[in-house]
Structures are given as structure tokens and as C-alpha cells.
Amino acid sequence: MSCKSKRAKHSGNIVIRNAAQVVTPTGKTARKGAEMSALAVIEDGAVVVTDGVITYVGSTAELPAGDYSAHTVIDAGGRAVVPGFVDSHTHLVFGGYREEEFSWRMRGDSYMSIMERGGGIHSTTRATRAASFDELFASAHERLDRMLSLGITTVEGKSGYGMDRKTELRQLEVMRALDAEHPMDIVPTYMGAHATPAEWKGREDEFIDWMIAEVMPEVAERGLAECCDIFCERGVFTPEQSRRYLTAALALGFRAKIHADEIVDTGGALLAAEIGCLSADHLLMASDEGIAALAASSTVATLLPCTAFSLREHYARAREMIDAGCAVALATDLNPGSSFTSSIPLTFALACIYMKISAEEALTALTLNGAAAVGRAESIGSLEVGKRGDLLVLDFPSYKFLPYHVAMNIVRTVVKGGVVYNNQ
């Protein structure tokens, strides 16, 4: 797919008519629990986008009469239309790959033991520090092209493979440049606290203090990130360190996110709910108390089934979380280690087949709740008048084909801000 200028990306005009169904969650906040399965389904639907913003959603028969000569008209011809996907957790800017580690893991090595030996996140950090701005930009640009073709119209991206001032800022600058140039909207997250780099080993508390004093304020001042994230895990950062880092981030005006309870339950979900994180992510090992706390909070539980799949772990307790009243989002966790994939089709399939999430819940989790997990549910994540014109035409007449056509990309046409990108 080719790139458009930032202006074009935000101001397309389009009419989609004769959709077998236009399907969307509704609202400007995350949908929780049973609300996640309540989709609006409009038969023989139509959507109008004007200057990048949705101006009509309804039946084709009731499409308001008017002058659509400035609009591109698409006949959806009996196919389904859904909102663009929001991938709310990725590490898309990085140098190098870790294909050897994948083989080691398949032979029984654990993710954490590889990291403890200086591999894992540390390996990608060495490669990212050595990569130039242009190299990071080019490789992430290709990844964004593929994501767009899979129907992702907004993506969150984390720094965290620099962990020094210079490389962290470079990763965030790359995301800013990509956001300006690529059709994709990128929500940038500062994740300097992804691990403790070799030069700070054993001085985790000092490293946290240094980030709070020396890096976060500059990231805030230059507007390089909207969120801050930390890997709260046994052997990485403790809940106390995470609390200190995220509290400082909130005070600087960032939204807080946390990698929580992935390998061990350290109380990360409880912490996220207590301090008002936008999202708590992974949660494979989240306790009953953690789930209850998330359900009672406005924190989105972001689940990453491709990571559990790739690490041969069990899946997060999605069914129990939704039944307890949580707002669940799904994301790919694209990164060069634990989940080297941007496959929304695989995410959809794993969620429905192994995590007992319904197709309706999964669609909400990948659209409106993903948008809430990046703080943008007011403007994206559903097909409603006033929201951005980010939507997808599928190859089939129903959203139910998304998990059913297992791991296949059935996105035929991507519309981003009213601008059309065809997959065929």
C-alpha cells in the first residue's frame, strides 16, 4: 500500500453502500462485561465519511439525498463493514531479530532464562542502539504497511529497546516521523522501564530514579509520548518500583500502562486498578482479586493471545474477566521476541477458539476497547457520526467470518480517515 500525505490521510470523502451489514460497538468509552457483546448491526447498511469524519451510518435505503460528487462511492456488494482495528499494544520500532531464540524456546528454553543470559530484550536493545534513525524508520514502515493491510488503522507503539536516553528518544522520534508520513495513526508510549540495561544491572532503583529525573520530563516536554509503560515482573521491576515510575508519569501528564502478571502474579493488576492505569496488559497469571479490581475500575484488561501462543503458555482468563465485568481489549504485542506477529486474524482465532471470547466480544475488544486502551475512544473504535472514518470492508457478508475463516486475512478494503486502501 502506498503512503498518503498527512493531510490526505485525515480528510477523505467516501460513501459505502449496500453492505450486507454494518457492524459496530457503540459509545465513547470501553464496553465492560456483558456490554462487550452488544453490537449494533445494520442490515443493507451504508456509511458516509466527509473530510475524514463519519457523517452518516444507517441503511442504504435511508442514505440522505445530497451531492456526493466529491465522494468516492464503494458498492460493498453484500459484504460486511466493521470499524478499523486498533492494535493497542506493540513494540513496532526495533533493530535486529531473534530467530535463534525462537528455536531455543521451542527446544525448551524459557523466555526469562534467555533474558537473564543477556538475550531477549537485551539482545534487541543492543541491535536497536546500533541502528540508525533511517534503519529503524524503514523497517517499522514496512511493518506498518503490513498492519494496514490487515485492517489495523491505529497502532500503539512502545519505546523500550534503548533504555538509554539517546536511543529511547530516537525510537520515539521514529514513531513521530512515521505517524506524520504513514496512513497509520501511531500512539507513542515511553517504555524506558522495559528491563534494566547491563550498565545499570543491580541498581534498579537508581535506574528508575534516573528515568524519572532525566528522561521522562524531556519526553513530556517534547510531546514525544502519550503514555508510559513498565514491565512489572519478578526479576524485572517490582510493584513498588512500578508504582514510583507510573506515579511520576501521571504527574507529568502521561497516561499509565503496565505489563502486569505475565509470568508470575506480582499484584500488577491490583496496582493498575489502584493508580488508574489506562490498561493492564498480559495478565496470564492475574489473581481473582486482580480481576475483581480491574472489573471495578476503568482500566482496560489488554490480552495478548499471540504472545501466550508463541511462548507456549496458557491463555489469560478472558472468559472469567468478561464475566466478572472487565473491559477486555485484544492486541498483537508485535515484538521481535515473544510475539513476532501483527496478525489480527490469528489474534481473533486464538481469542475465540482458546479464550472462549465470542466473535462479538472479540470485535469490541479489537476496536472500541482497543481505542479506550490508548485513550482515543472518543474519536475512533466505532462507526458513529462524529468519529473518524476508519473502517474495513470484509470479503464476506458477516463479521462472524473473522474467527471462522481461521487465521486468514479477510480484509478486502481499508478506509483510513475516508481514504481508501484496497488490498486487491
Choose among Fe ion, ligand NIG, none what residue 120 binds, the Cβ cut-off being 5 to 8 Å by kind.
ligand NIG
Pairing label, strands 391-394, 411-416 = antiparallel
179 versus 333: smaller Cβ distance to ligand NIG? 333
Site for Fe ion in 94-133 (CB under 5 A): none
Quick note: the x/- pattern for ligand NIG over 8-47, rule CB under 6 A, is: ----------------------------------------
337 versus 381: smaller Cβ distance to ligand NIG? 337
Decide: is 162 part of the binding site for ligand NIG (CB under 6 A): no
Selected range binding ligand NIG among 148-156, 288-296, 334-342, 400-408, rule: CB under 6 A: 334-342
Other CB atoms within a 10 A radius of the CB of residue 202 amount to 8
Choose among ligand NIG, Fe ion, none what residue 315 binds, the Cβ cut-off being 5 to 8 Å by kind.
none
Decide: is 279 part of the binding site for ligand NIG (CB under 6 A): no
Site for Fe ion in 298-337 (CB under 5 A): 333
Choose among Fe ion, ligand NIG, none what residue 262 binds, the Cβ cut-off being 5 to 8 Å by kind.
ligand NIG
Site for ligand NIG in 255-274 (CB under 6 A): 259, 262
CA 25 to CA 383: how far, in whole Å?
8
State the amino acid at position 37 in one-letter form.
Answer: S
Are residues 9 and 65 in contact, defined by beta-carbon separation less than 8 angstroms?
A: no
* CA 165 to chain CA centroid, nearest Å: 24
Quick note: the x/- pattern for ligand NIG over 201-240, rule CB under 6 A, is: ------------------------------x---------
Binding residues with ligand NIG: total (CB under 6 A): 14
Selected range binding ligand NIG among 119-127, 172-180, 342-350, 369-377, rule: CB under 6 A: 119-127
Q: How far is the CB of 157 from ligand NIG (least distance, A)?
A: 12
262 versus 390: smaller Cβ distance to Fe ion? 262
Quick note: the x/- pattern for ligand NIG over 283-312, rule CB under 6 A, is: ------------------------x-----
Decide: is 399 part of the binding site for ligand NIG (CB under 6 A): no
Q: Where are the beta strands (DSSP E) in 147-248?
A: 152-158, 185-193, 227-232
Decide: is 120 part of the binding site for ligand NIG (CB under 6 A): yes
Q: How far is the CB of 355 from Fe ion (least distance, A)?
A: 18
> At 22, phi and psi to the nearest 5?
-105, 120
CA 117 to CA 114: how far, in whole Å?
5
- From the list 379, 367, 408, 386, the residue with the least C-alpha distance to 83 is 367
With CB atoms as reference, the residue minimizing the distance to ligand NIG is 337
115 versus 359: smaller Cβ distance to ligand NIG? 115
CA 129 to CA 163: how far, in whole Å?
9
Q: How far is the CB of 335 from Fe ion (least distance, A)?
A: 6
Q: Could you tell me which residues are beta bridge partners of residue 257? A: 229, 279
Strand order in the sheet with 328-330: 85-87, 152-158, 185-193, 227-232, 255-260, 279-282, 300-303, 328-330
CA 317 to CA 303: how far, in whole Å?
9
Site for ligand NIG in 69-98 (CB under 6 A): 91
CA 281 to CA 263: how far, in whole Å?
12
Radius of gyration of the chain (CA): 21
Element of type H or E holding 358: none
- From the list 342, 284, 286, 340, the residue with the least C-alpha distance to 313 is 284
Decide: is 121 part of the binding site for ligand NIG (CB under 6 A): yes
CA 310 to CA 98: how far, in whole Å?
13
Choose among ligand NIG, Fe ion, none what residue 266 binds, the Cβ cut-off being 5 to 8 Å by kind.
none
Instruction: Burial-class residue 180 by CB neighbours within 10 Å (0-12, 13-18, 19+).
Output: exposed
Q: How far is the CB of 108 from ligand NIG (least distance, A)?
A: 18
Identified binder of ligand NIG from the candidate list 84, 183, 337, 403, rule CB under 6 A: 337
Binding site for ligand NIG (CB under 6 A): 91, 120-121, 124, 231, 259, 262, 307, 333, 335-339
Binding site for Fe ion (CB under 5 A): 333
